[in-house]
């Protein structure tokens, strides 16, 4: 094999290892936008889940403190685990679509004359 043939063989091997794509600007923009949208969806989902966890923690902790301080001073160690388990069960049912928040609020008004109003 001559020197020229060896060089030619090396060039061909190098070309076969390097893959080259030709894309139009529109195709490249579409690929970038798709990747960006996917990443944006992922970040939004994580932020939403974090906000829901924070809200759930806040809305569970505050009522528990009120119950302990003003209503269950002596029996809180017995009642808190049960209360928390029930709240989490109801939350999971709401999350899965088994409970309707509007219906629950209407039930609160009928049973206890409590109305939750957004200001």
Answer yes or no: are the C-beta atoms of 101 and 85 closer than 8 Å. Answer: no
Answer yes or no: are the C-beta atoms of 116 and 106 closer than 8 Å. Answer: no
Distance separating alpha carbons of residues 66 and 30, to the nearest angstrom = 54
Is residue 10 very low, low, confident or very high in pLDDT (cuts 50, 70, 90)?
confident
Distance separating alpha carbons of residues 92 and 107, to the nearest angstrom = 19
User: Residue 64: which of 82, 89, 49 has the closest Cα?
Assistant: 82
CA 111 to chain centre: 34
Please write the tens of the pLDDT for every residue from 21-40: 888 999 999 999 999 999 99
Structure pTM? 0.54
Please write the tens of the pLDDT for every residue from 63-112: 889 999 999 889 988 899 998 899 889 889 988 999 888 888 888 888 87
Q: How many CB atoms sit inside 10 A of residue 108's CB?
A: 13
Residue with tokens 């709401």: 94
Is residue 11 very low, low, confident or very high in pLDDT (cuts 50, 70, 90)?
confident
Distance separating alpha carbons of residues 80 and 72, to the nearest angstrom = 9
Distance separating alpha carbons of residues 85 and 75, to the nearest angstrom = 16
């Amino acid at each position: 094999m001559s020197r020229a043939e060896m060089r030619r063989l090396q060039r061909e091997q190098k070309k076969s290892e390097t893959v080259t794509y030709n894309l139009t600007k529109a195709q490249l923009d579409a690929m970038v936008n798709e990747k960006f949208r996917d990443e944006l969806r992922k970040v939004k989902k994580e932020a939403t889940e974090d906000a829901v966890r924070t809200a759930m923690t806040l809305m569970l902790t505050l009522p528990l403190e009120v119950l302990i301080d003003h209503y269950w001073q002596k029996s809180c160690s017995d009642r808190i685990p049960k209360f928390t388990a029930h709240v989490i069960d109801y939350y999971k049912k709401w999350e899965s679509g088994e409970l309707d928040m509007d219906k629950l609020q209407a039930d609160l008004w009928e049973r206890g004359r409590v109305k939750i109003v957004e200001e």
